[in-house]
Amino acid sequence: MNEIDLPSWSEILLYREDAPLIFTRLYFWGFFGIVLLIYSAIFRKRALRNAFLFLVSLFFYYKTSGFFFSILLFSTLTDYLIGFAIDKAPKGAKKQGWLAVSITINLLVLFYFKYAYFFADSFNNLIGTEWHPVNHFAGFFNEAFGASFRADRILLPVGISFFTFQTMSYAIDVYRGHIKPVRNILDFGFYVSFFPQLVAGPIVRAADFIPQLYQPYNLTRAQFGLALFWILNGLLKKVLLADYIAVNFVDRIFANPGSYTGFENLMALYGYSLQVYADFSGYTDIAIGVALLLGFTLPTNFNSPYKADSCGNFWKRWHISLSTWLKDYLYIPMGGNRGGSLFTYISLGFVAFFVFLLSGSYLTLTWFAGGIVVAIILAQFFKGLNQWYTTNINLMMTMLLGGLWHGASWNFVLWGGLNGLGIVIYKLWSKVSPWGDKSKWYNRVWAIFLTFNFISFTRIWFRSGSSNTWANLNEKHNILEEWFTANTMLKQLGNIDFSIAPEVIVGFAPVFAVMLFGFIVHWLPSSWKAWYREKFAGAPLALQMFTVVIAVVIMYQILSADLQPFIYFQF
């Protein structure tokens, strides 16, 4: 990191697995500078502007994920055409049929790349076969273009869940009549692939973003300052907080929790809660800033989530674009808090199928199905339970499917299930709680403390099921290893000796100082944050540039020699 080697033209233009185009690389900012330079000459010509941004977005994805940009093109073309079919079809079975085609194609693509090894391992264990997935896409490119891609392994396209959810929401919104189909395929391709948010969100709704494609470019002096603030804020979160904590503390503990004390495991959990927030919200901040410089507004994805006073409130503040997507396209179609629907039972069957494959046990499936049947029978005898059952089943299904969205692993299922259970239990407790008055500061502080600790506790399973390096980003989950890691950490947490806390704090003093700083900033009042954000946005340009230089120098000194990918790239 101390020397800057000038790259060759092949390194600049061709995909390299060890040099992806991401926000923490100097290469990205050179790329973005060139994009801005060309953009400044064409931004007034709407059609040319959108086409140009579509092409550079494809290049960005190619540099990030190689020839998987063909999957992006496939999803784009498919939903572009299906959007017209849905719009032209009469109401009823035909319109629903075309929507079903879109959802099926999108889910098949997602399942093929994200869950192929999981299904293969599960079926092999169940029926005693040795089937191995084959990358048919690689085989096609090898045959068609004489390429030499590996066909014996299915790699995970970076950010596939994000752009798949975007294309699905487009088809659903056209079906619901919220938007009309996009006429120009280049405009639609730009919506699907807009590079700032393409690989890690926020998930952009067609109804919110597509109207912006046809608006004239506008960037005020205050908006420029705000964009600069978000970019710096995101980079500092990623480099100063997330990567520093991960490399110097969190990754070591989770790699071998049994070798560290219970107190160190506890602090690693708190550290990971800060790391995953700083990493993911840092990416979102940068994406929002970059998009704003290009004249587009992306949705807010985080709202100080560790200020939440309940698990339900946490999910209104964390990964808001996914939470609202699941609510609008999953929870409400199930019936939401109104009751059950056919979609509820389809979702139950889907989750039961995954539970069966994860466990490989007919007994587990029997218990799961038996529990559902008992709940349904009880609801028939006790009518008051029916509404409560269906509402909370819808909620639990949403959270379980949200867990499976992150990956096919018991750890993700447990993580999603625990969060759903936390919401359900809080809803019951809030009706009888003597501390329910959140207007009293001590009740609110206590609620925030409990919520933060519960959310951090659930991250035992989330972190154990996640990969954090480029080396293992494209590997399948080692479910047994993840399970044992989580169990080992639970065992260590059950034997915490706080008497050694001073020694541990001194040993990791720089890391704990950074963690303390990060949490203090996070818990600052929102009005304070808005004040210094607006002050920076309105500051003289010379002062802003001076701040940029200081921030870059600080980040360069701290930047890890090993590339740390953004955590949510793997999803």
Nearest in space to 84 (alpha carbons), one of 171, 186, 178: 171
Chain-centre distance for alpha carbon 433: 33
Nearest in space to 197 (alpha carbons), one of 73, 305, 296: 296
Distance CA 71, CA 366 (A): 38
E-only strand ranges, 318-449: none
Catalytic residues: 406
Q: Residue for token digits 């044992």?
A: 484
The residue length of the chain stands at: 571
Distance CA 298, CA 203 (A): 9
Task: Look up residue 299 and give its DSSP letter.
Answer: P
Distance CA 156, CA 134 (A): 13
Using omega within 30 degrees of 0 as the cis cutoff, is the peptide bond preceding 202 cis? yes
CB-based burial label for 345 (10 Å; 0-12, 13-18, 19+)? middle
Residue 233, CA distances (Å) to 57, 285, 460 in order: 23, 7, 27
Nearest in space to 61 (alpha carbons), one of 80, 75, 44, 47: 75
3-state helix, strand, coil in the chain (%, to 5): 75, 0, 25
DSSP 71-138: HHHHHHHHHHHHHHHHHHSPTTHHHHHHHHHHHHHHHHHHHHHHHHHHHHHHHHHHH--------HHH
Q: How many other C-beta atoms can be found within 10 angstroms of the C-beta atom of residue 537?
A: 19
Q: Which amino acid is at 463?
A: R
Residue 544, CA distances (Å) to 188, 202, 434, 513 in order: 35, 26, 49, 27
Nearest in space to 393 (alpha carbons), one of 443, 337, 448, 354: 337
205's tokens: 């709704």
Q: Which amino acid is at 397?
A: M
Distance CA 122, CA 354 (A): 10
Distance CA 6, CA 10 (A): 12
DSSP 240-278: IIIIHHIIIIIHHHHH-GGGS-HHHHHHHHHHHHHHHHH
Distance CA 110, CA 73 (A): 14
The answer to whether 429 and 390 are in contact (CB under 8 A) is no
Nearest in space to 564 (alpha carbons), one of 244, 253, 249: 244
